[in-house]
């Protein structure tokens, strides 16, 4: 089974189909986690911005979530939700919250006072101000947060193999168990590659969405 070289290219070519399937699974697990995380973070950020006093407790709770080791979190969640996609996503989503909320809130707080004064002086309602001024101007910070959240989540998704989910973790775990370096390496490299691709895609999206910030460098 173990080839002469370090990498068994024969195995790699035999399993291209599996790799594609694992890539789709990995991307879907990440996509669900980051989108749910973003929706939840936007809601929590709106609460934090509307009622400033809630911001500290919100960062406190999400901060604690962020520090729990993923392995431990899965262990706590499995007895309640079983070896399910839900368990995996609850854990993955909770890891995105701190980064996203912090970036959204600091992005909106970072909108210059003169811009706010001018926009309310021109007769924008609070809602128009949020949607037409604050959110667009916070976009660089928000996209930066999404990039970190996505890259972190892609790494974390590999761990979800322990609770029966797919993705590149399957290769890594099986490779380690069978002491088959090629498979473990393929899983690792694919995970890194996905992270790089997603990060670059988000940079591209950011450029398109923010032509005005192009020269500032995102």
Partner 1 sequence: MPNVPAIEFRQVEKIYPGSSAAAVTDLSLEVAEGETVALIGPSGCGKTTLLKMVNRLIEPTAGMIRVFGNDVRSSNPVELRRGIGYVIQQVGLLPHRTVAQNIGTVPELLGWDDRRVWARVDELFDLIQLDPELRDRYPSDLSGGQRQRVGVARALAADPPIMLMDEPFGAVDPIVRKALQQQFLEVQKRLGKTTVLVTHDIDEAITLADRVAILNLGGILEQFDPPMAILRDPANAFVMSFLGHDRGLKRLSLLPISSVKLVKGPAVSRSASIEEAREMMERWGVDWIALADGDVLHGWVPGEELDGASDLASLALRRFESWLTSDASLLDALDVVVSSRTSAAAVFDGDRYLGMLSAETIGREIVT
Residues at the interface with partner 1 (CB under 8 A): 112, 114-125, 128, 132-133, 136-137, 139, 210-213, 215-216
Q: How far is the CB of 70 from partner 1 (least distance, A)?
A: 37
CB nearer partner 1, residue 142 or residue 195: 142
Q: How far is the CB of 209 from partner 1 (least distance, A)?
A: 10
Q: How many Å apart are CA 42 and CA 73, to the nearest integer?
A: 23
CB 58 within 8 A of CB 101: yes
Q: How far is the CB of 88 from partner 1 (least distance, A)?
A: 37
Q: How far is the CB of 139 from partner 1 (least distance, A)?
A: 8
CB nearer partner 1, residue 80 or residue 122: 122
Q: How far is CA 204 from CA 80, 136, 210, in A?
A: 40, 16, 10
CB nearer partner 1, residue 139 or residue 181: 139
Residue the block writes with tokens 């936007």: 42
Sign of CA dihedral 193, 195, 196, 201: positive
CB nearer partner 1, residue 53 or residue 127: 127
Q: How far is CA 213 from CA 26, 106, 122, 209, 210, in A?
A: 31, 17, 24, 9, 5
């Amino acid at each position: 089974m173990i080839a002469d070289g370090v990498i068994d290219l024969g195995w790699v070519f035999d399993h291209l189909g599996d790799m594609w399937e694992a890539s789709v699974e990995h991307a879907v697990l990440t996509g669900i986690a980051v989108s749910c995380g973003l929706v939840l973070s936007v809601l929590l950020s709106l609460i934090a911005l509307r009622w400033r006093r809630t911001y500290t407790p919100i960062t406190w709770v999400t901060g604690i979530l962020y520090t729990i080791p993923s392995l431990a979190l899965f262990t706590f969640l499995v007895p309640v939700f079983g070896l399910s996609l839900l368990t995996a996503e609850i854990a993955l989503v909770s890891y995105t919250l701190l980064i996203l909320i912090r970036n959204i809130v600091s992005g909106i707080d970072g909108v210059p006072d003169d811009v706010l004064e001018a926009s309310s002086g021109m007769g924008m309602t609070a809602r128009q101000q949020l949607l037409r001024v604050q959110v667009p101007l916070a976009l660089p910070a928000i996209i930066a947060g999404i990039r970190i959240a996505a890259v972190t989540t892609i790494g974390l998704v590999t761990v979800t193999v322990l609770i029966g989910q797919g993705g590149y973790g399957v290769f890594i775990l099986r490779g380690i168990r069978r002491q088959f370096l090629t498979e473990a390496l393929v899983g690792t490299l694919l995970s890194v590659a996905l992270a790089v691709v997603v990060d670059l895609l988000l940079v591209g999206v950011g450029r398109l969405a923010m032509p005005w910030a192009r020269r500032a460098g995102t």
